[in-house]
Amino acid sequence: MQLTREDWVRAGLTKLAESGIHEVRVEVLAKALKISKGSFYHHFRDRKELLDSMLDYGLVPVPILVERKK
């Protein structure tokens, strides 16, 4: 399966909504997408670049990035 940068961003947004910022990790997203972590690094340098891309897409309101205590 060939994933796009947007696929990774959407997976990150989904995980953020479900579990919070700490679960937006490469290995967690790769498992959810059923693909190797190497695919991630084809599109992003690191997790920070993914998070920046999520903001760039304008799909993540800043307050949702604040960690919520459970």
Tell me the per-residue pLDDT of 44-69, one tens digit each, with 9 for 90 and over: 999 999 999 988 876 555 555 555 44
> How high is the pLDDT of residue 69?
43
Please state, in angstroms and rounded to a whole number, the distance separating the CA atoms of residues 9 and 16.
Answer: 10
Q: Is the pLDDT of residue 42 over 70?
A: yes
> How high is the pLDDT of residue 17?
85
Work out the angle between the directed axes of helices 47-56 and 5-19 (0-180°, nearest 10): 90
- Residues in the chain, total: 70
Confidence of residue 2 (pLDDT cuts 50, 70, 90): confident
- Name residue, tokens 């891309």: 53
CB proximity list for 28: less than 8 A, separation 6 or greater? 15
- Name residue, tokens 């399966």: 1
Contact 8, 43 (CB under 8 A): yes
Mean pLDDT of the chain: 83
